[in-house]
Amino acid sequence: MVVTDAFAIETKGLRKTYATHHAVDSLDLTVERGEVFALLGPNGAGKTTTVEMLEGYRKRSGGDVSVLGVDPQRRTLDWRARIGIVLQSTGEFEDLSVQEVVEHFARYYPHPDQPMKVIERVGLLDKRKDRARVLSGGQRRRLDVALGIIGRPELLFLDEPTTGFDPQARREFWELIRDLAAGGTTILLTTHYLDEAETLADRVGVIARGRLVAVATPATLGGRGTAAAKVRWATPDGPQEHDTDTPATFVADLVTRFGGEVPELTVTRPSLEDAYLSMIQETA
């Protein structure tokens, strides 16, 4: 493959082999510039191995890779400054305050963001003077994110970023991701929270047994967008349900039959979780 910068990320035939085990097996992937791409898969599927090869932390066994127009195995300091990485945990600066840690990391980049601005964006402004060791699990994740974005990255890798967040903190973090994406940052996200992928991602990819089995928008993954709808309602004889490709027509008929409101009416299509689990089960 001729290395270009047409895509933020491009792989062809990417492989990682340990003896006879194929952790990543001939993976072809493209991530557009400015896109939020979520990588989904069960534990051991090859997500982390793939991301580490893209980041340049793990050597590949074969295939071609371009990340911001550079082969990660030939990375330079300039290239490093263009990417941000949020690992599952850093935890190496327990005796420094939040502000000291962020200011320390800012010195590694040629054009860093303002430390206090970043601390505020991740919701740690009132904790800026606290030592890292006294932060809660969710607050530590926010600090990890701050360190990932302090260098104003063109491409941000987020590995399970909201682990340990309470529901409100997750929602606030999602707003931060939307803000970064709106500013043009390309984001590769790994997550086990399917609602997170559905909310944030422009496209999702599903990895199983080291292979990329599907890439689509969250709304169309696994044929969700055209799958039959399930209509449920209540009658004196008990709950009823019907699968239909034309739910609007079917509901209109129900309304006519009931002469108005249909008791306990719901119309649903397969969720992202339904589509994902079906794919995983098919490859098991």
Instruction: Please indicate, yes or no, whether residues 227 and 124 belong to a single structural domain of this protein.
Output: no
Confidence at residue 5, expressed as pLDDT on a 0 to 100 scale: 66
Instruction: Please indicate, yes or no, whether residues 93 and 234 belong to a single structural domain of this protein.
Output: no
Summarised one tens digit per residue, pLDDT across range 9-33 is 999 999 999 988 899 999 999 999 9
List, in order, residues 6 or more apart from 52 with CB less than 8 Å away: 58
Residue 4 lies in a domain: no
Instruction: Please indicate, yes or no, whether residues 127 and 148 belong to a single structural domain of this protein.
Output: yes
Q: Which of 198, 218, 238 is the last residue of a domain?
A: 218
Residue 112 lies in a domain: yes
Per-residue pLDDT of the chain (284 residues; tens, 9 = 90+): 545 567 999 999 999 999 888 999 999 999 999 999 999 999 888 999 999 999 999 999 999 999 999 999 998 999 999 999 987 665 678 889 999 999 999 999 999 999 999 999 888 999 999 999 999 877 888 898 899 999 999 999 998 888 777 888 888 888 888 988 998 999 999 988 899 999 999 999 999 999 999 999 999 998 887 888 899 999 999 999 999 989 999 999 999 999 999 999 999 888 898 888 888 887 66
Instruction: Please indicate, yes or no, whether residues 48 and 151 belong to a single structural domain of this protein.
Output: yes
Instruction: Please indicate, yes or no, whether residues 256 and 148 belong to a single structural domain of this protein.
Output: no
Instruction: Please indicate, yes or no, whether residues 88 and 111 belong to a single structural domain of this protein.
Output: yes
Instruction: Please indicate, yes or no, whether residues 87 and 115 belong to a single structural domain of this protein.
Output: yes
Residue 206 maps to which CATH number? 3.40.50.300
Q: Which of 218, 240, 264 is the last residue of a domain?
A: 218
Residue 1 lies in a domain: no
Instruction: Please indicate, yes or no, whether residues 122 and 207 belong to a single structural domain of this protein.
Output: yes
Instruction: Please indicate, yes or no, whether residues 172 and 228 belong to a single structural domain of this protein.
Output: no
Residue 275 lies in a domain: yes
Instruction: Please indicate, yes or no, whether residues 189 and 81 belong to a single structural domain of this protein.
Output: yes
Cα–Cα distance between 138 and 160 in angstroms, integer?
12
Confidence at residue 4, expressed as pLDDT on a 0 to 100 scale: 56
Residue 3 lies in a domain: no
Cα–Cα distance between 18 and 22 in angstroms, integer?
6
Could you tell me where the DSSP H helices lie in the chain?
47-55, 77-81, 98-106, 115-121, 137-149, 167-182, 194-200, 247-258, 272-283
158 has which bridge partners?
86, 189
Residue 25 lies in a domain: yes
Instruction: Please indicate, yes or no, whether residues 31 and 120 belong to a single structural domain of this protein.
Output: yes
Residue 132 lies in a domain: yes
Residues in the chain: 284
Q: Decide: 93 and 101 in contact? Cβ < 8 Å.
A: yes
Reading the block at residue 42, the tokens are 């069960």
Instruction: Please indicate, yes or no, whether residues 176 and 258 belong to a single structural domain of this protein.
Output: no
Single-letter code of the amino acid located at 276: Y
Confidence at residue 88, expressed as pLDDT on a 0 to 100 scale: 63
Domain around 33: 9-218
Summarised one tens digit per residue, pLDDT across range 88-137 is 665 678 889 999 999 999 999 999 999 999 999 888 999 999 999 999 87
Q: Which of 218, 237, 267 is the last residue of a domain?
A: 218
Domain count, the chain: 2
